[in-house]
Amino acid sequence: MRTIYFILRKEFTQLKRNRTMLPIIFIVPLVQLLVLVNAATLELKNISLTVCDYDLSPASRRLTSVFDASPFFNVHKYSFSTDEAISHIENSSSDMVLVIPRGFETKMVRENKAEVQMLFNAINGTVAGIGNAYANQIFIQTSKAYFMEFAGLTSGQLNTLNINAIPAFWYNPDMNYKVFMVPAILVILVTIIGMMLAAMNIVREKEMGTIEQINVTPIKKIHFIIGKLLPFWIVALVMLAFGLFVGKIVFDIPLQGSLVLLFANAAVYLLVMQGFGLLLSDTADTQQQAMFIAFFFLIIFILMGGIFTPIESMPLWAQWLNKLNPIAYFMKIIRMILLKGSTFTDIRTLFLSLSAYAAIVLTIAITKYRKVN
């Protein structure tokens, strides 16, 4: 215990003096939260739209004006040639083309239905998919209003005409993307501190040669490892608290569930990542190597972990792969606890999986770590 105390005291002294590490720990998370949460959004606004209105009727103008008034669409060109409109997509000045055929209004009045054509630039599949959904909403609402005013149908008759789905978004009723992103950024934050900084700290001693001096002392391997990992475990948890505080103040993220439960999960999750960090420090001889290897794994772990894209919509093999991805577990847990107010019963399986994972990785890492060669 005394040995651990002396190592911890040394680590915190060095951490305090380190002029590159300290800003990384405190400023990076702030920047990440403030910039990334605002910038990395899947909400689409200002989809640029070219309208080909061949009908030029009150009904077609009305439809166009609804698109123009919507915050999601921006009618930037009118055209009388579908080919010309498509060329706007080809040169990327438009994301979408709306073609209203001749006889649109007549068909509306006579047959109570009419067709329009939508063409999307699907290079960015997200824009196409979400744009399509938004546009459909506009068609439903506009046609409904049109039938009520011009065809004289009552809303009762309308309901028999078409079934209108009104979505309700649970756990995030306003579809506030930031609420979804803040927990994800916090996961990345604690991961980088717990895994990468801890690994780099050990490798730094290798680089400077001081590890050799440590290895000739009677320090036990386990004491050294605890002394090296514990400081970053503590710092990561403090940063999680700090990040939650910033998230609450700046983005008003909901804190539905128990914070104690959240921190208990974070504590176990960090053990997994520290195990990986220790394995990494065993492999790498320089801080540069450690950083490259860490980035390689972190990028895969993070992008697969459901930060932007739901794991449920990934192909089956990817979902299986994610069973090995600790970030996926914690990403899910933190969102469940913060946004949904999940209790221990809800996340028990995830928590136990993480605990088993931590036990396995740490055991391998500690066994593999050698003072003697």
- Chain positions contacting other proteins, by CB under 8 A: 2-3, 5-7, 9-10, 13-14, 17-18, 208-210, 212-220, 371-373
Answer left, alpha or beta for residue 252, where phi above 0 means left and psi between -120 and 50 means alpha.
left
State which residue, 88 or 204, has the beta carbon closest to other proteins.
204
Residue 179 Cβ vs other proteins, minimum distance, rounded to whole Å: 41
State which residue, 13 or 141, has the beta carbon closest to other proteins.
13
Identify the residue whose tokens are 């409109």: 85
State which residue, 9 or 110, has the beta carbon closest to other proteins.
9
Residue 371 Cβ vs other proteins, minimum distance, rounded to whole Å: 8
Answer left, alpha or beta for residue 284, where phi above 0 means left and psi between -120 and 50 means alpha.
beta
Give the ranges where 147-197 is alpha helix by DSSP (H).
Answer: 155-161, 177-191
Q: Alpha-carbon distance 226 to 218, whole Å?
A: 15
Q: Alpha-carbon distance 101 to 116, whole Å?
A: 7
Residue 215 Cβ vs other proteins, minimum distance, rounded to whole Å: 6
DSSP 164: -
Residue 214 Cβ vs other proteins, minimum distance, rounded to whole Å: 8
Residue 4 Cβ vs other proteins, minimum distance, rounded to whole Å: 10
State which residue, 260 or 372, has the beta carbon closest to other proteins.
372
Q: Are 262 and 183 in contact (CB under 8 A)?
A: no
DSSP string, 265-321: HHHHHHHHHHHHHHHHHHH-SSHHHHHHHHHHHHHHHHHHTTSSS-GGGS-HHHHHH
SS3 188: helix
DSSP string, 125-141: HHHHHHHHHHHHHHHHH
A 10 A CB-CB count for 359 gives 14
Residue 372 Cβ vs other proteins, minimum distance, rounded to whole Å: 6
Residue 9 Cβ vs other proteins, minimum distance, rounded to whole Å: 7
State which residue, 219 or 250, has the beta carbon closest to other proteins.
219
State which residue, 100 or 203, has the beta carbon closest to other proteins.
203
State which residue, 10 or 368, has the beta carbon closest to other proteins.
10
State which residue, 1 or 163, has the beta carbon closest to other proteins.
1
Task: Lay out the sheet containing 47-53: strands in order across.
Answer: 73-79, 47-53, 96-100, 117-120
Residue 5 Cβ vs other proteins, minimum distance, rounded to whole Å: 8
Identify the residue whose tokens are 């104690």: 260
Q: Alpha-carbon distance 137 to 47, whole Å?
A: 15
